[in-house]
């Protein structure tokens, strides 16, 4: 409870409780954390909308190829393994930050980046193969929804890789400053959120292909 002193004329100061609305702005870390959670929630809403659109449009192949004909599940399994492994190395990356071990942090950041880049490379090759076989996003409503959903996730992975590289550079040049540590926590949350979204993509889009 925050209080302040009020001194009537000629008398001792009397402690008075300050209302919550008048206690001034929250600490920066609280504001940043709250804002980042709002960002993650808004991102989940975007993906939920894309999942809903895909669920409605998946049967609309317009006489073209369906998911069963297009998807190579062995490749998708490899993609999934890369991304889930990157989530594990990202967790080790966070633990290395907690104990302030820069060498370990760099090693696990490198592994996370490499696994994320491998996932992205496999996804791009899948898209290129589909387009080469006349199965691009303009071929049918099903393919439009597929490219929108999976492509949006791939865009987030690309942003995450760029963010990871920038954060490693900040640790290397600025050290373990509080604002750098806060950004590293935000990155880890973002990366794990991408893994959760991918589990939905893998289950609904690839395993549920008809």
Distance between CA atoms of 146 and 152, rounded to whole angstroms? 10
pLDDT block averages, 10 residues each, the chain of length 210: 50 56 61 80 93 92 84 89 95 90 91 96 93 89 94 95 93 85 89 93 85
Tokens of 101: 């071990």
Please give the Cα distance from 38 to 144 (Å, whole number).
Answer: 28
Which is it for strands 3-6 and 14-17: parallel, antiparallel or unpaired? antiparallel
pTM above 0.85, yes or no: no
Q: Coil, strand or helix: which one is 9?
A: coil
Which residues share a beta bridge with 4?
16
Residue 56: domain span: 28-207
For residue 197, being part of any structural domain is answered with yes
Residue 73 lies in a domain: yes
Is 148 a domain residue?
A: yes
Q: Is residue 196 part of a domain?
A: yes
Domain CATH code at residue 152: 1.20.120.80
- Nearest Cα neighbor of 29 from 180, 160, 168 is 180
The dihedrals phi and psi of 196, each to the nearest 5 degrees, come to -65, -45
3-class DSSP string for 135-162:
CCCCCCHHHHHHHHHHHHHHHHHHHHHH
How is residue 127 written in tokens?
């898209």
Query: What does the pLDDT read at residue 69?
Result: 84
Predicted confidence at residue 161, as pLDDT, reads: 96
Contacts of 120 (CB under 8 A, 6+ apart): 154, 157, 158, 161
What pLDDT was estimated at residue 29? 66
3 inside domain: no
Residue with tokens 């791009």: 124
Structural domains counted in the chain: 1
Residue 20 in any domain: the answer is: no
Residue 187 φ/ψ, nearest 5 degrees? -60, -45
**Alpha helix ranges (H) inside 99-210:** 102-132, 141-174, 178-201
Q: Within a domain: residue 15? A: no
User: Residue 10 domain-assigned?
Assistant: no
């Amino acid at each position: 409870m925050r209080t302040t002193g009020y001194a009537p004329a000629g008398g001792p100061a009397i402690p008075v409780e300050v209302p919550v609305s008048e206690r001034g702005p929250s600490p920066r870390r609280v504001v940043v954390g709250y804002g980042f959670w709002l960002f993650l929630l808004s991102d989940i809403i975007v993906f939920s909308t894309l999942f809903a659109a895909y669920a409605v449009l998946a049967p609309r192949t317009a006489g073209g190829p369906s998911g069963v004909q297009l998807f190579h599940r062995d490749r998708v399994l490899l993609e999934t393994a890369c991304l889930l492994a990157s989530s594990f190395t990202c967790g080790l990356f966070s633990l290395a930050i907690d104990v302030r071990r820069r060498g370990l942090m760099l090693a696990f950041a490198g592994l996370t980046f490499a696994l994320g880049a491998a996932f992205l490379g496999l996804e791009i090759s899948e898209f290129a193969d589909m387009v080469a076989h006349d199965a691009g996003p303009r071929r049918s409503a099903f393919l439009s929804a597929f490219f929108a959903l999976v492509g949006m996730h791939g865009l987030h992975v690309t942003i995450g890789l760029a963010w990871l590289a920038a954060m490693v550079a900040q640790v290397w040049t600025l050290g373990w400053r509080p604002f750098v540590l806060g950004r590293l926590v935000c990155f880890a949350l973002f990366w794990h959120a991408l893994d959760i979204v991918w589990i939905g993509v893998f289950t609904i889009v690839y395993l549920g292909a008809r």
